[in-house]
Structure 1
Amino acid sequence: MPRLSVIIPCYFNEDNIPVTARELVANEANFPPDVTFEYVFVNDGSGDDTLGALRRAQDAYPSRIRIVDLAGNVGSYNAIVAGMAHATGDCLAIITADMQDPPELMAQMYSHWKHGFKLVIGNRQNREETGLAVTMAKFFHWLMKNLALRNIPDGGFDFVFFDRQVATEILKLHERNTNVFYLMVWLGFAYVTIPYTRRKRQIGKSRWTLSKKVKLLVDSLLAFSFVPIRAISVLGLGLGITALFYGLYVIGLKITHPNEPAGWTTLMVVLLFVSAFQMVALGVIGEYVWRGLDAARQRPLYVVKDLYPET
């Protein structure tokens, strides 16, 4: 009897939990009767009554729901890793607590898993949402596809179904400041995509702030791409060649016009230009150095405060 573990990271989702739990359990009717289910809700240090809502959902579905209550907010990706570590299924799925991704798609994902695919990706082809957030999301995934991982699907994804082996390999990596979904693709397993339209959020307000989006972009680029470092090298080489020709020009100018006064403006422009490049270079290199330091410290990705039920 195959067992499916569905991991749901939760952060300020008090109002979503009753609807989410009910829809997930109702979705079981789309699966073959021999499949058993486990829903691993990870409370990522929520400041509202998300834990209370989860406990009430657990009382309603005691044989299905497990709760991992983290001691503090560690971010959705680390919360997902915590869910993987406590899930027991033969196959796993990740879905958001706001139900913007259709749970009924999991039955089709399960069918692909039964046919041998280790990874099945719900690929966002369209969104019911509009505005700047959607534009930024599309730009982010375009950037990642062109500068980092060329084999990721277009449109982005964070709704996935995967084999226990994929979860085991992710947990062995102990990656920090990374994108757990891109890590699944990076592992190299053949995957299949299922297109769908992402729903508009109906309950609550998203806590996915601009600062978190910027951090994710930086983390993803530095974790999977050497382009920032390579760009510094190319820019440095270009500036070096420019400086060489400009030096020859200044020497020639001095020879042909020995009484020409020194150009204060030119000197300051060159100085500021080179200084700006140095600061940008140091900033990019510093990002890599900081990530090396963070990995060397080996601090835990998350701290579990309580488990419900206790194990």
Structure 2
Amino acid sequence: MNKISLIVPCYNEEANIKPFYNAIMEIYTGGGGINDADLELMFVNDGSKDNTLQKIRALHEKDSRVKCVSFSRNFGKEAALFAGIRNVTGDCTVLLDADLQHPPFVLVEMYKKWKEGYEVVEGVKSNRGKEGLFHKLFTKVFYGMISKAVGMDMKNSSDYKLLDKKVVAELAKLKERNTFFRALSFWVGFKKTTVYYEVAERANGTSKWSTKSLIKYAINNVICFSYAPLHIVTAVGCVFTIIGIGVAVDALISFFTGKAASGFPTLVCITLIGFGGVMVCLGIIGVYIAQIYDEVKGRPQYIIGEKIE
């Protein structure tokens, strides 16, 4: 018999644990298409400060299929996803959020696609739900950059996907600390297909993603998966070189034709713009160096404080 594992990252989701479990069990026991497989429900508690772990432990006491990897502190969703990947045992694995914004009934269609022979089933958003104008614009720019980096359209991609055990095994081998799971699932290859879903409203609570955390998440992911910012540095350097040559030529022409002016304001502006460009370039390079520094230290991506098996 096949075994399907679910990886569910959780951070302060105490109000959603039981509704999520009920929604999964309703699909699993209702003859919806996945009840021909054994079930493993792997929660990953990402250092929650509320009663999330206690809620998971209570479910485990009633249902041994419920398991949990609990971090010693908050390490972030990327770490939670990879902790789940390294601890599940299913023939296929579905990754989805505990807040029910990833509709559980879609995993039935994913499972059917897997049985047809697909090894990666990507959940693609047919809409992005309720998002602010700034968030939508920022997301469009970010995923446009990432799509060019990986050579695939990721504009409506999500962490909601099914992976064959072969894919899970390859992802589990990765040793890098700074990861971008959504792009890595494209990078590994294998036979892919997509299913579409509408983003649902959160069952309870509010999003844990602030604007600041989203910007930080985006910058880290672009840096760890793309060389585009370094190419931007090169382009900026070329632009300022061309400007400098143009100004020098203009100054020489003015000097030899007797039209030279004091030019102090122009000189100040050019100096400030050039200095600003240099600092931006150094900042981009500095972020790459910081990423390298994180990797060479060799610290683990996460620390497990407790396992419920």
TM-score normalised per structure 2 = 0.94
CA distance in 2, matches of 1:35, 1:155: 29
- Name 1:230's counterpart in structure 2: 231
**Does residue 18 of structure 1 match 2:40?**
no
In the TM superposition, 1:1-311 aligns within 5 A as 1-28=1-28, 29-61=31-63, 63-132=64-133, 133-145=135-147, 147-257=148-258, 260-309=260-309
Amino acid at match of 2:181: V
Note the residue ranges of structure 2 that are not aligned, 5 or more in a row.
Answer: none
CA distance in 2, matches of 1:183, 1:84: 13
Q: Give per-residue Cα distances to partners, 1:147-180, cap 9 Å, x unaligned.
A: 4223134412120100111112112122232311
Whether the 8 Å contact between 2:122 and 2:157 is mirrored in structure 1 is no
Pair 1:174–1:152, CA change in 2 (3 A): farther
How many Å apart are 1:228 and its aligned residue? 1.0
Pair 1:138–1:247, CA change in 2 (3 A): closer
Whether the 8 Å contact between 1:179 and 1:216 is mirrored in structure 2 is no
CA distance in 2, matches of 1:134, 1:13: 25
Pair 1:72–1:52, CA change in 2 (3 A): same
Q: Give per-residue Cα distances to partners, 1:11-42, cap 9 Å, x unaligned.
A: 00011001011111222132354300001001
CA distance in 1, matches of 2:238, 2:170: 39
Pair 1:277–1:18, CA change in 2 (3 A): same
How many Å apart are 1:103 and its aligned residue? 0.9
Q: Give per-residue Cα distances to partners, 1:126-167, cap 9 Å, x unaligned.
A: 14424334454344323422x422313441212010011111
CA distance in 1, matches of 2:52, 2:140: 30
CA distance in 1, matches of 2:8, 2:34: 22
Whether the 8 Å contact between 1:68 and 1:83 is mirrored in structure 2 is yes
CA distance in 2, matches of 1:229, 1:190: 32
- 3-state SS in 2 of match to 1:52: helix
Whether the 8 Å contact between 2:4 and 2:90 is mirrored in structure 1 is yes
Whether the 8 Å contact between 2:34 and 2:111 is mirrored in structure 1 is no
TM-score normalised per structure 1 = 0.93
CA distance in 2, matches of 1:8, 1:203: 16
- 3-state SS in 2 of match to 1:67: strand
CA distance in 1, matches of 2:138, 2:231: 24
Q: Higher mean Cα deviation, 8-17 or 215-224?
A: 215-224
Q: Give per-residue Cα distances to partners, 1:168-217, cap 9 Å, x unaligned.
A: 21121222323112101011223111111010113111111112211221
Whether the 8 Å contact between 1:8 and 1:42 is mirrored in structure 2 is yes
Whether the 8 Å contact between 1:138 and 1:155 is mirrored in structure 2 is no
What is the number of equivalent residue pairs in this alignment? 306
CA distance in 2, matches of 1:136, 1:270: 30
CA distance in 1, matches of 2:34, 2:88: 21
Whether the 8 Å contact between 1:31 and 1:107 is mirrored in structure 2 is yes
Whether the 8 Å contact between 2:224 and 2:291 is mirrored in structure 1 is no
Whether the 8 Å contact between 1:127 and 1:200 is mirrored in structure 2 is no
CA distance in 2, matches of 1:160, 1:273: 46
**Percent identity among equivalent residues?**
31
Amino acid at match of 1:18: K
Whether the 8 Å contact between 2:69 and 2:304 is mirrored in structure 1 is yes
Q: Give per-residue Cα distances to partners, 1:236-279, cap 9 Å, x unaligned.
A: 11221221121111112122227x45321011011101100100
Whether the 8 Å contact between 1:4 and 1:93 is mirrored in structure 2 is yes
Whether the 8 Å contact between 1:178 and 1:216 is mirrored in structure 2 is no
How many Å apart are 1:60 and its aligned residue? 2.6
How many Å apart are 1:234 and its aligned residue? 1.6
